[in-house]
């Protein structure tokens, strides 16, 4: 019989897909999840999208009793429990720090007393800050940071010291870390503390740096979740997608089915142990072209994206994945194209109701001085 697996945050968007992937591969899966109403809505009921073959324990990763119960008889842990969202993290600082950093610390104290076969933690592309760039001479430029004065003037693209525009390129794991938000700080703490404890206690540990994950079962009514879910909530309410800056910022959108498969490969690969690994599609798209593509597949072409020309604190300009390491050590190859992924997502969206809270979230940021 294959290993018994615990997924913290296992009833959530990515965690539930990982659970389904592992069950299909013959693993015994348990989920620990607090069923946060911001993600799952009021009521605290078992999500309908969670596989019946997954045991669900309702509890917080910071609760020692819930954690002890969840870890009983477990061989492998996937740590996905986290508060998600760059913008909200910049004013709910204590909450994000408690869930993401203290929650991870509680888990690591508990697993240090066990003989796990593997620990896999969900990190984020957010830890890079700006992605990787080269200058006009083709030289790699590290530690890119846009100045507040330039952003206030609407100068969105980063420049070198000579004022020449920098060109974005795929971001490898060797790129320096530049933390631009409390959310990014927490994800880096999750990643590094897991790798440190894994080395100290002889637990094979892998950190997966996930890029922009999308697909069915995202929390549509949470205005701080993935950008495609936010756009979908607007479009389902017959409103245009709202985009910060000018919409030309580039991102890597990776389908959740590909992410779930990468997680299984990380469990099964010994070559991945001790590494941080990018998980993305290996392709980049501008945010505005993705918004238009989603509008098209939803039949909402009339809703042209609303470009705010505002900068949001914690946001970066360009970041997309170099996935060479994932290909080499995991044998990972993305299978779902953006067009096919959006079509699948649309079928699920047709069955959903979504509350559009994007405008309220924007006002919250404006009132706190977190946009310019």
**CATH level 3 topology of 4-367:** Rossmann fold (3.40.50)
pLDDT in tens, 62-118: 999 999 999 999 999 999 999 998 888 999 999 999 999 999 999 999 999 888 999
Q: 287-297 and 227-236 helices cross at what angle (nearest 10)?
A: 40
Q: CA-CA distance, 260 to 272, in Å (whole number)?
A: 16
User: With the CA atoms of 349, 353, 359 and 362 taken in that order, what torsion angle do they form, in degrees rounded to the nearest 10?
Assistant: -70
pLDDT in tens, 211-220: 999 999 987 7
Average pLDDT, the chain: 92
Global pTM value = 0.94
**Domains in the chain: boundaries:** 4-367
pLDDT in tens, 161-214: 888 999 999 999 999 999 999 999 999 999 999 999 999 999 999 999 999 999
Q: What is the pLDDT of residue 223?
A: 60
Q: What is the pLDDT of residue 329?
A: 98
Higher pLDDT, 33 or 230: 33
pLDDT in tens, 300-332: 887 899 999 999 888 999 999 999 999 999 999
Q: What is the pLDDT of residue 303?
A: 85
Q: Is a pLDDT exceeding 80 seen at residue 369?
A: no
Instruction: Note whether 85 and 312 are within 8 A (CB).
Output: no
> Beta partners for 32?
8, 57
Q: Is a pLDDT exceeding 80 seen at residue 234?
A: yes
Phi/psi of residue 54, nearest 5 degrees = -100, 125
Q: What is the pLDDT of residue 55?
A: 98
Higher pLDDT, 84 or 356: 84
* DSSP H or E stretch at residue 263: helix 256-268
pLDDT in tens, 124-147: 999 999 999 999 999 999 889 999
Q: CA-CA distance, 32 to 7, in Å (whole number)?
A: 6
Neighbours of 169 (CB within 10 A): 18
Q: 52 exposed, middle or buried (CB, 10 Å; 0-12, 13-18, 19+)?
A: exposed
Q: CA-CA distance, 228 to 294, in Å (whole number)?
A: 8
Q: CA-CA distance, 94 to 296, in Å (whole number)?
A: 40
Instruction: Note whether 82 and 99 are within 8 A (CB).
Output: yes
Q: Is a pLDDT exceeding 70 seen at residue 225?
A: no
């Amino acid at each position: 019989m294959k290993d018994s697996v615990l997924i913290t945050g296992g009833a959530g968007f990515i965690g539930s897909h990982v659970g389904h992937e592992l069950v299909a591969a013959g693993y015994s899966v348990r989920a620990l999840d607090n069923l946060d109403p911001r993600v799952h809505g009021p009521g605290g009921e078992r999500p309908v999208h969670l596989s019946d073959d997954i045991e669900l324990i309702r509890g917080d990763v910071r609760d020692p009793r819930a954690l002890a119960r969840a870890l009983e008889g477990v061989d492998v842990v996937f740590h996905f429990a986290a508060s998600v969202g760059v913008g909200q993290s910049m004013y709910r600082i204590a909450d994000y720090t408690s869930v993401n950093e203290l929650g991870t610390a509680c888990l690591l104290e508990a697993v240090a007393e066990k003989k796990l076969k593997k620990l896999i933690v969900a990190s984020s592309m957010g830890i890079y800050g700006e992605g990787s760039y080269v200058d006009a001479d083709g030289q790699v430029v590290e530690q890119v940071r846009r100045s507040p004065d330039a952003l206030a003037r609407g100068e969105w693209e980063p420049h070198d010291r000579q004022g020449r525009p920098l060109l974005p390129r795929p971001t490898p794991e060797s790129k320096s870390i530049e933390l631009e938000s409390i959310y990014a700080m927490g994800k880096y703490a999750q990643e590094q503390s897991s790798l440190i404890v894994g080395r100290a206690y002889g637990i094979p540990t892998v950190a997966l740096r996930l890029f922009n994950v999308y697909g069915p079962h995202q929390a549509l009514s949470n205005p701080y979740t993935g950008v495609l879910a936010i756009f979908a909530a607007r479009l389902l309410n017959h409103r245009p997608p709202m985009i910060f800056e000018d919409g030309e910022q580039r991102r890597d959108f990776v389908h959740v089915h590909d992410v779930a498969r990468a997680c299984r490969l990380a469990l099964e690969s010994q070559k991945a142990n001790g590494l941080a690994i990018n998980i993305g599609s290996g392709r980049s798209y501008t945010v505005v072209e993705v918004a238009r593509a989603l509008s098209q597949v939803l039949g909402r072409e009339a809703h042209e994206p609303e470009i705010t020309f505002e900068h949001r604190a914690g946001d970066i300009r360009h970041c997309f994945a170099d996935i060479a390491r994932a290909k080499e050590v995991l044998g990972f190859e993305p299978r779902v194209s953006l067009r096919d992924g959006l079509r699948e997502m649309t079928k699920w969206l047709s069955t959903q109701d979504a509350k559009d809270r994007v405008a309220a979230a924007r006002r919250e940021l404006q009132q706190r001085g977190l946009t310019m």
